[in-house]
Chain A
């Protein structure tokens, strides 16, 4: 099975901070909250499968760059 790469840049671009809940196809943001708790609360009653990711300007420390 082939999976497309996730364009986190496109997913976070409309948000300044907080957490986003990304769709199971990883192509759109379904919910956003300032805190993780708030975001998870919004998804509580949904049947949508979501993946949580924090909004940051720079993820370079994720992979380590010079």
Chain B
């Protein structure tokens, strides 16, 4: 079981909002990219920016573009299958969307990926969350 305190992001001082952010290393073949992801129960599927996808040498432009809807509006994405994520030595495969036109830091893990692999408990009143990865055969 890992307990992670929420993180402080610039620009959110006025709101006092802290964020449930987790360190993650993505792997695509021999390429690795360690960065940080927002743990988002409101996200159906994880996403990364095209900048992160390029760093992983994912050939996202060759995947037909699709459109999706989020609370922030419509977005264009390229669904990528079977990359690997490593969080606190726990490794798992996931499908992820490479989204066009979003900030480079955008990296989110959601219900179809991280939330299938772990029990996650948010204690927003304590500014922390807990994550316990499932033991899968």
Interface residues of A (CB under 8 A from B): 1-10, 12-13, 26, 36, 40, 49-54, 56-66
Q: Which residues of B contact A9 (CB under 8 A)?
A: 8-10, 13
B7–A5 CB distance below 8 A: yes
From known contacts A1-B1, A64-B71, infer whether A52 and B34 are also in contact, taking CB-CB under 8 Å.
Answer: yes
Does B12 interact with chain A (Cβ within 8 Å)?
A: yes
Number of contact residues on B: which range applies? 35 or more
A8–B7 CB distance below 8 A: yes
Bound complex: CA of A64 vs CA of B8, how far in Å? 14
Q: Which residues of B contact A61 (CB under 8 A)?
A: 72, 102-103, 106
Looking at the assembled complex, report how far the CB atom of B54 sits from the nearest CB atom of chain A, in whole angstroms. Answer: 8
Contact segment of B16-24, B61-69, B111-119: B16-24
Bound complex: CA of A11 vs CA of B55, how far in Å? 22
- Nearest A residue (CB) for B23: A51
Q: Which residues of A contact B17 (CB under 8 A)?
A: 63, 65
Closest 6 CB pairs of A and B: A58-B11, A5-B5, A59-B9, A6-B7, A54-B104, A51-B34
